[in-house]
């Protein structure tokens, strides 16, 4: 599986539709300070489902939408698409090319698409996390993650390795199953109380 292309439109400093084509062998993006290198890595993390505005270096998620410049008006929608070559089938979906898209409107509405068809964030997370590509997996390493790696708290370090190894998906599913189990146990207890009351 190879990242072949990144499309951005209205995302951060990229007001117009722009394509970054990653030919084989491209390993770095270089440019002067403030030219938008970090905005490219932000776009990758965002489309993979990043939910924390601060991880996008903003106060609220709408801050990722191009907010205008001296030469241009602001726009009302940010859209990012990531293209993967999936000829080896590493992403568990029967397509040779996989395109993941995320959109956000200034009104707050947001949408995820998989090969241009609307889907849930959960679908994207489930698709990519088994490959170690999830938003928290270490695909993009920010300085805070380096702090976690150097942390003397073993649970913090363990979470990073779990995400990178693709185990995080199962940990989260287990947590949500445990939560549902707890809710069901509470419901059952309430039901017992009700039965006792009417008997």
Tell me the binding residues: 32-39
Chain residues that interact with ligand ATP, rule: CB under 6 A:
12-13, 31, 33-39, 63, 65-67
- 3-class secondary structure per residue, the chain: CEEEEEEEECECCECCCEEEECCCCCCCCCCCCCCCHHHHHHHHHHHCCCCCHHHHCCCCHHHHECCCCCCCCCCCEEEEEEEEECCCCCCCCCCCEEEEEEEEECCCCEEEEECCEEECHHHHHHHHHCCCCCCCCCCCCCHHHHHHHHCCCHHHHHHHHHHHHCCHHHHHHHHHHHHHHHHHHHHHHHHHHHHHHHC
Known binding-site residue numbers for ATP: 32-39
Cβ 108 to ligand ATP shortest distance, Å = 15
Closest residue to ligand ATP, based on beta-carbon distance: 38
Give me the least distance between CB of 52 and ligand ATP, in Å please: 16
User: Which CB, 65 or 104, lies closer to ligand ATP?
Assistant: 65
In the complex, the smallest distance separating the C-beta of residue 38 from ligand ATP, rounded to whole angstroms, is 3
Rank residues 85 and 142 by Cβ distance to ligand ATP and give the closer one: 142
Q: Which is nearer to ligand ATP, 46 or 66 (CB)?
A: 66
Whichever of 109 and 193 has its CB closer to ligand ATP, that residue is 109
């Amino acid at each position: 599986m190879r990242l072949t292309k990144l499309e951005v439109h209205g995302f951060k400093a990229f007001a117009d539709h722009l394509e970054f084509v990653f030919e084989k062998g491209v390993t770095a993006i270089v440019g002067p300070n403030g030219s938008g290198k970090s905005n490219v890595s932000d776009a990758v993390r965002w489309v993979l489902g990043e939910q924390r505005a601060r991880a996008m270096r903003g106060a609220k998620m709408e801050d990722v939408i191009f907010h205008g410049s001296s030469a241009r008006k602001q726009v009302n929608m940010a859209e990012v698409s990531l293209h993967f070559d999936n000829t080896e089938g590493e992403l568990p979906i029967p397509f040779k090319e996989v395109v993941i898209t995320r959109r956000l409107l200034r009104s707050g509405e947001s949408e995820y698409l998989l090969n241009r068809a609307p889907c849930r964030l959960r679908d994207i997370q489930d698709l990519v996390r088994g490959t170690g590509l999830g938003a928290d997996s270490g695909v993009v390493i920010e300085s805070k993650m380096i702090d976690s790696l150097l942390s003397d708290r073993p649970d913090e370090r363990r979470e990073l390795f779990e995400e990178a190894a693709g185990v995080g998906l199962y940990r989260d599913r287990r947590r949500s199953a445990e939560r549902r189990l707890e809710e069901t146990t509470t419901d059952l207890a309430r039901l017992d109380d009700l039965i006792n009351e009417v008997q």
